[in-house]
């Protein structure tokens, strides 16, 4: 039983340490993508404010949802970047 437990710990520790860092090219692409997602969310914010001023509540709601989607995606990719690229 001790040997099985030690083997499981060894396998787990090796698999965790093998995904330590990604190459600079991939990390740069992730960083650029996060910036584009944030810029797109800012565009959606501006468009949704314009739709709200025009009284189009349906378009405003749809644009706010798109803004939230872009911000959530940027947050997820930022987590990946901080995990594998720093």
- CA 13 – CA 8 distance, rounded (Å): 9
* 11-52 residue pLDDT tens: 666 555 555 688 889 999 999 999 999 999 999 999 999 999
Residue 8 lies in a domain: no
Is the separation of the CB atoms in 79 and 17 below 8 Å? no
- CA 60 – CA 5 distance, rounded (Å): 56
Residue 17 lies in a domain: no
**Secondary structure of residue 20 in the 3-state scheme:** coil
User: If pLDDT is split at 50, 70 and 90, which confidence band does 3 have?
Assistant: low
Number of structural domains found in the chain = 1
* 41-80 residue pLDDT tens: 999 999 999 999 999 999 999 999 999 999 999 999 999 9
Residue 28 lies in a domain: yes
Q: Global pTM?
A: 0.71
Q: Domain containing 57: what range?
A: 23-84
């Amino acid at each position: 039983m001790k040997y099985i437990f030690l083997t499981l710990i060894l396998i787990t520790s090796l698999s965790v340490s093998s995904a330590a860092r990604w190459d600079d090219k991939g990390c740069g692409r992730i960083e650029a993508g996060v910036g584009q997602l944030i810029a797109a969310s800012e565009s959606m914010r501006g468009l949704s404010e314009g739709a709200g001023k025009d009284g189009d509540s349906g378009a405003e709601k749809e644009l706010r949802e798109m803004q939230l989607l872009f911000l959530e995606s940027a947050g997820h990719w930022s987590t990946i970047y901080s995990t594998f690229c720093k």
